[in-house]
A and B are shown apart, each in its own frame.
Chain A
Amino acid sequence: MNAPAASFPPTAITATPLSIALVGNPNCGKTALFNRLTGSRQKVANYAGVTVERKEGRFLAPSGRLVRVLDLPGAYSLNATSADEAITRDVCLGQHAVEARPDLLVCVADATNLRLHLRFVLELMRIGRPMVLALNMSDAAARRGITIDREKLSRALGIPIVSTVAVQRNGVHDLIAQIDSVPPPPPVMAPDGNLHAEVRRLLAECVRMPRHTAAIDDTLDRVVLHPVWGLAILAVLMFVMFQAVFTGARPFMDGIGNAMQVLGDWLGAALPAGPLRSLVQDGIVAGAGTVITFLPQILLLFLFILVLEESGYLPRAAFLLDRLMVGAGLTGRSFIPLLSSFACAIPGIMATRTIQDRRDRLATILVAPLMTCSARLPVYTLLIAAFIADRKVWGFLSLQGLVLFALYAAGIVSALAVSYTMKLWRRRRGHEIEEHALLLELPSYRMPHAFDIAIGLWERSWMFLRRVGTVILSLTVVLWFLSSFPAAPAGFIGPAIDYSLAGRIGHAMQYVFAPIGFNWQICIALIPGLAAREVAVSSLATVYALSANSDQAASQLQPLIAAQWPLATALSLLAWYVFAPQCLSTLAVIRRETNSIKTMALAAGYLFALAYLASLITYQIAHALA
């Protein structure tokens, strides 16, 4: 009927794209394979209602057909024990509410770990859907002298098998060709029968493996997991990472800060004086712009974490620390999220997705804000420089440095105390009948691959920037509004913010905050400081009627508050900042990740209560001693 269409090759007129799903055990190299197939044409989102990452990408097959690729979460079995595995099960069985059943399952198995991975392949074959098996990391298998009789295995299983090397440019050539050809018939598999026995039989017939483990893994693990050397290596790694994150990112952060300054000045000059200029300059650029300056630090931190993750080291760190963290009511898997929280609690809380146990994940989310994030540093620096004498203790330790260290330590110790209290509380309520599972696989060591690291970094920075662009930006605008309206009438004496809604709230707040020694200026600064902690510094400066940018303000503000505030007030404010959830973005991300307003309220409530209590004790003791 339609003459032009008929002249196309037959496959090109297939209007509906082919949908395939990658499915396999954790650590089978599935994500690297996904990256290799789809490149940067990926969409990362969440499955509705759960915080399980949904990754979809697409590529054009040689025949011209569009292929949609879904990267399903790694699973050990269809008998799901986590939200991740439940998604994989539902999609594979075609029971997912939204996700359509894929046309073809691409089952990915690590060629060096077939005993474990083949069992899941057999389980998937029972579904009876068209399926292809990709033997991934076949280069590593060849290096270890593992030989797999692919044709024999393919005949025994009744599904096509291709070898892939996800980290090589042409390593997925055969897989693409297979996907692009005629879909294989669904495998026939008895619904009962012992899968382990079947795996043993297949391995005996089709696979020859000189030794069970890679020699390099044995050697490295002997050192890395050693009770003494292992912990020492972990400590050194963490030290190097923190040094790099805090000193290495500094020039880039200053660069972005300066760029924001220039942008603000330029916009200030370009826009007519009035509310719009103030909104753009004092609200958007000063508020959201300040948060963007943390991007280099976050990127560098993620670079370290990604390299450690890709290399296979992170599960080893979890292994070393698990017992200690279980004692404190957490899990070895909490280590990474809490570590990230030293840069910023937002990526830290997002990283708790790797914790499968629901209770462990909640405990980690609730204590993550207690890790001293980098946004607290400007506040700490200002107060320490103004109030703590620059002298040496015992001849070589700087007193200022000691105070800063004490503030970091206070955060860590209280996080452990809080999670421990939660553990006791759960036990008393009888919630601990069910055991927390670890069952953590320690994969083979691998050389991190730049291509996958780059994609991971891009994903994470994009997630962070999107957050700055939405939640943080809108909060900044609201706070700017509160701090700017109603405008002070002509002839009003004192800073304009004093007359605004925020100013009035600040004065009202003083009744509550007087017992912990906060004056009304601090109370006002706390309000815009909710958008981002470090904004409190520039807000204090504004309140003290200094119009200057954050850095200059800090240098002029310092002698001013040193002269005006009692020491007790300064110490009380420091104690406040250790605990207070002075960051609406963190609260917003807690709500999103837990899907619960109640959890967010719980986090905000307990953190404010701790902050108030700590400040009250600090202020009253310091006041009495003064």
Chain B
Amino acid sequence: MYQLTDLPRNTNATIREVTAHGAHDPIAVRLAELGFVQGEPVRVVAKGPVGGDPVLVQIGYTRFALRRTEAARVMVQAEDA
């Protein structure tokens, strides 16, 4: 299990869970609405030029830029190559 921030670029992975920070975490709720839910395949496509922040994530047919703190909420399982 990785945090999405630690997933190497262009490695296929599957979302295990999205952890909320506290009982009321609007960012975790929004991540789920954008499709970050258990079982979805994801891939990190690019990382920002400074400190690898933000990360660009391919999920479904869409690309989202997530700051590291946002991406750290997403736990993933890398697929065996």
Contacts and interface: CB of A to CB of B under 8 A. Distances in A.
Interface of A: 76-77, 79, 81, 112-116, 119, 196, 209, 212-213, 217-218, 221-222, 225-228, 230-231, 315, 318-320, 322-324, 326, 332, 435, 437-443
B35 A212 contact: no
A230 B64 contact: no
A439 B53 contact: no
A116 B54 CA distance: 21
Given A322-B53, A323-B49, A76 B61 contact: no
Interface string B3-43: 00000000000000000010000110111011101001000
A385 B66 CA distance: 48
Contacts of B54: 319, 322-323, 332, 438, 440
A76 B30 contact: yes
9 contacts: A113-B61, A115-B62, A116-B60, A212-B61, A225-B46, A227-B47, A323-B53, A332-B65, A435-B70
Given A227-B49, A323-B54, A315 B33 contact: no
B61 A440 contact: no
A437 B70 contact: yes
Contacts of A323: 48-51, 53-54
A314 B69 CA distance: 23
Nearest to B32: A196
A81 B46 contact: no
In the A-B complex, list the 3 residue pairs whose CB atoms are closest, starting with the nearest: A115-B60, A227-B49, A323-B50
A438 B62 contact: no
Interface residues on B, range: 20 to 34
Given A209-B61, A213-B61, 8 more contacts: A79-B29, A116-B34, A213-B63, A227-B48, A323-B49, A323-B53, A439-B31, A439-B34
B35 A115 contact: yes
Contact of B50 (A77, A228, A324, A437): A324
A319 B47 CA distance: 9
Contacts of A76: 30, 33-34
Identify the interface centre among B26, B33, B51, B58: most chain A CB within 10 Å of its CB.
Answer: B33
Given A196-B35, A227-B49, A438-B65, A212 B30 contact: no
A221 B35 contact: no
B78 interface: no
Contacts of B62: 113, 115-116, 441
A221 B66 CA distance: 16
B56 to A, nearest CB: 7
A418 B67 CA distance: 23
Contact of B27 (A115, A209, A439): A439
B60 A439 contact: no
A218 to B, nearest CB: 8
A196 B48 CA distance: 29
B48 A437 contact: no
A441 B58 CA distance: 10
A568 B35 CA distance: 61
